[in-house]
Amino acid sequence: MGNTLRVISVVGARPNFMKIAPLARAINAHNAGGGTPRIEHRLVHTGQHYDVEMSAAFFDALDIPAPDVDLGIGSGTHAQQVGQTMIAFEQVLRDWPPDWVLVVGDVNATCACTITAKKEHLKVAHIEAGLRSFDQDMPEEINRLVTDRLADVLFTTDHIADANLRAEGTADERIRFVGNIMIDTLDAQRELAAPLKVADIIRDNAIADGEEDAARFAGTADGDFAVLTLHRPSNVDDPHILPDLVAYFIDEVAARMPLVWTLHPRTRNRLEASGLLDRVLATPNIVLLRPIGYREMLRLNMSARIILTDSGGIQEECCVLGTPCVTLRWNTERPITLTDHGGTNVLAGNDVARIRDAVNLLMEKKRVPHRPELWDGHTAERIVRYLAGTRAG
Ligand code: UD1
């Protein structure tokens, strides 16, 4: 291997792509600047998310190099996704054993590839370590716990995550506070997002008649609409919860202001299966969009009056952009984004009365952007500097 450092990084699902883009760029910059050791980087896509709009579109828009290996895992139960990823990834590691395997976030690929790499006696670094919802009903929490127990280096986004890791008995030398790599992408993309027009985003992505929807939204001023994203199994898979939420969105949110709802495939399937999709499509003040690109979502976030979401990453983006954010979950692994810590985020669970109170509260609030420590756009550089330092001299 000489004086090169071999790195394999892993992506699997949509929320991973914005975390890998800055890393690939920082590795290129390191090599282009004559940094030593030279880093040889290979990108592995497990293929958990495979629709163009959930995957390939992000590679193009965020300028991520094409994956060197695509494991093509696709949909399945958790055991199928994790098991098939492990089998396929083991071969990748045997063909080209790296000095480091880099995993990001909390999806099934993160956990599956960590276990595989450790069983091959390889070093693993986890980007976005230490986040805890303390709710093991969330598949992501299990992925986080397993990954952080095994990974050699734990790159954290904030000091709450550091404290979570310490409380689990993690030695200090494994913990590296580097900031939030998601914000590297947000900073790199916001000027490109700013000129996009909300009506164009709607026209190009509407599930129904884009022209009609765009025309209806053409007069909507900045700050005059709400955005909704929903995909957690706990919200969309439970037949006792989804109908109440949908009734609230139709009868109350859309009655108050236009609502742009970007539909995750899981949610679309559930709405279709329960016969609710047509009701939502027939609500004039709601526009349903297919999964949209990173930049388009950023643009909506930049001028939404309020966002209702159960996503992890959107809570963080709202914090930095200052968008009032109602999180439709009972807990968050990202408490740094909550109003108690200076962010814009209020937890409301999936109980309509709680959500109504949170929406009423946040509708009174102004945009107050807030950047936690080291959410400064330079996290990927810190990570690359650390990795290069592991082969110094
Ligand atoms: C996954 C992640 C979650 C992340 C989310 C973001 C895990 C455990 N969960 O959840 O952490 O917040 O992605 O999107 O890894 N589907 C498609 N096309 C696709 C991808 C999925 O139609 O490109 C369908 C699948 O067939 C499945 C459903 O969407 O029925 C859910 O996909 P799945 O990969 O199980 O997990 P997500 O809910 O997307």
Per-residue pLDDT of 83-99, as tens digits, reads 999 999 999 999 999 99
Helix (H) or strand (E) holding 162: helix 159-167
Task: Give nearest CA residue, ligand 1 atom 35.
Answer: 75
Asked if residue 26 lies in contact with residue 120, where contact means CB atoms within 8 angstroms, the answer is no
Confidence at 392, pLDDT banded by 50, 70, 90: low
Cβ(50) – ligand 1 distance below 6 Å: yes
Whole-prediction pTM = 0.95
Instruction: Please report the pLDDT score of residue 99 as a whole number.
Output: 98
Q: Rounded CA gap, 251 and 285, in Å?
A: 10
Helix (H) or strand (E) holding 24: helix 14-32
- For 373, which DSSP code? T
Site of tokens 């108050």: 256
- Whole-number percent of the chain with pLDDT over 90: 93
Cβ(15) – ligand 1 distance below 6 Å: yes
Q: Rounded CA gap, 377 and 140, in Å?
A: 25
- Whole-number percent of the chain with pLDDT over 70: 98
Query: Rounded mean pLDDT of the chain?
Result: 96
Cβ(139) – ligand 1 distance below 6 Å: yes
Helix (H) or strand (E) holding 255: helix 254-256
Confidence at 148, pLDDT banded by 50, 70, 90: very high
Instruction: Please report the pLDDT score of residue 2 as a whole number.
Output: 61
Angle between helices 139-150 and 108-119 (to 10 degrees): 30
Q: What type of residue is 295? A: R
pLDDT digit string (tens) for 247-286?
999 999 999 999 999 999 999 999 999 999 999 999 989 9
d(CA 72, ligand 1 centre) in Å: 14
pLDDT digit string (tens) for 319-341?
999 999 999 999 999 999 999 99
Instruction: Please report the pLDDT score of residue 221 as a whole number.
Output: 67
- Position 357 pLDDT exceeds 70: yes
Instruction: Please report the pLDDT score of residue 87 as a whole number.
Output: 98
**In sequence order, what are the residues at sequence separation of 6 or more whose Cβ sits closer than 8 angstroms to the Cβ of residue 188?**
21, 22, 25, 377
Question: By C-alpha distance, which of 129, 98, 99, 105 is closest to 48?
Answer: 105
Instruction: Please report the pLDDT score of residue 212 as a whole number.
Output: 78
Cβ(75) – ligand 1 distance below 6 Å: yes
DSSP string, 94-131: HHS--SEEEEETTSHHHHHHHHHHHHTT-EEEEEEET-
Task: Give nearest CA residue, ligand 1 atom 18.
Answer: 51
Give the up-direction half-sphere exposure of residue 201: CA atoms within 13 A in the CB hemisphere. Answer: 25
pLDDT digit string (tens) for 192-221?
999 999 999 999 999 987 777 777 777 676
Task: Give nearest CA residue, ligand 1 atom 7.
Answer: 107
Asked if residue 76 lies in contact with residue 87, where contact means CB atoms within 8 angstroms, the answer is no
